Amino acid sequence: MDLISSGWYSTPKWIRVAIIVVSSVVLWEAAVRTLDVKPFLLPAPSRLVTVMIVDSAYLLRHTGYTLYETLLGFAVAVIFGVLLAVAIVSSRFLEETIYVLLVTLNSIPKVALAPLFVVWMGTGMPPKVAIAAMISVFVIVIDMVLGLKSVDPDMIDLARSMKATKLQILLRLRFPTALPNLFAGMKVGITFALIGAIVGEFVASDQGLGYVIMVAQGQFDVPTMFAAVTILAIVGTLLFFVVDVLEHVALPWHVSRRGTVH
């Protein structure tokens, strides 16, 4: 058993992931065929591949729209998340006000707020971007605040004794220390942004994968629904690993220390 385990973990990570994914797809295909599951209940992976090939142009167009919404919302969330975290750390008053407001806002189901954004901003792209940003900003703020506060107090005292300004302490001590936390929040935030974009598309949209799912639902087109969901899973996974790669590039010392580089 130990030999199998050591051999498995000595294999490159991307190969291990590929083996798990392929094995899951094969088991899914075999189960559907063996149990004779009807396509309107659970289509086989081969059926999904057929749908994706036949409707590739249609699905790619709507995937691009959803991806654009997601990236815009994520960018807004990162910018505002970092700014809010800096404000919270810099002021006790802001910590006691903004922090509480963020927690309260995060506790509200975003599906309940999505119709309001549509009323305020219309049915175009802005409400989807706003919802994506609102869903993902909270985790970025939380992780960034934790990172900004994790600086060794002795280092801050030393910097102050050397007449360093608050801005210098922020840029040269707090922010570099908080970068691992920021990337941790961004990994979660990018998937939340995708969820937010889909929520917005469910409420009111004529484009995007959320729109594809709603139209397919109305037509009881389960294979197309599964194809759209599969694409969402692929896009979400790729976005997560893109942020992970950026972390490897920006913080090689941190990644190497936690032992995730193979």
| Least confident residue range of 61-75, 112-126, 209-223 | 112-126
pLDDT for the residue numbered 167: 78
pLDDT tens, residue by residue, 170-205: 778 888 888 899 999 999 999 999 999 999 999 888
57 vs 106, higher pLDDT: 57
Give the model's confidence band at 206: pLDDT under 50 very low, under 70 low, under 90 confident, else very high. confident
Architecture field, domain 55-258: Orthogonal Bundle (1.10)
- Separation of alpha carbons 177 and 92, rounded Å: 21
How far are the Cα atoms of 68, 107, 121, 157, 261 from residue 65, in angstroms, in the given order? 5, 28, 18, 49, 33
Radius of gyration of the chain (CA): 22
In this structure, what token pair is assigned to residue 111?
């599906």
pLDDT tens, residue by residue, 9-55: 667 776 877 888 888 889 988 988 888 888 788 888 888 889 999 99
- Separation of alpha carbons 116 and 106, rounded Å: 16
pLDDT for the residue numbered 5: 58
pLDDT for the residue numbered 9: 65
- Separation of alpha carbons 248 and 226, rounded Å: 33
pLDDT tens, residue by residue, 43-84: 888 888 899 999 999 999 999 999 999 999 999 999 999 999
In this structure, what token pair is assigned to residue 27?
């088991």
Sequence length of the chain is 262
pLDDT tens, residue by residue, 80-105: 999 999 988 888 888 778 878 888 88
pTM for the full model? 0.84
In this structure, what token pair is assigned to residue 213?
């799912």
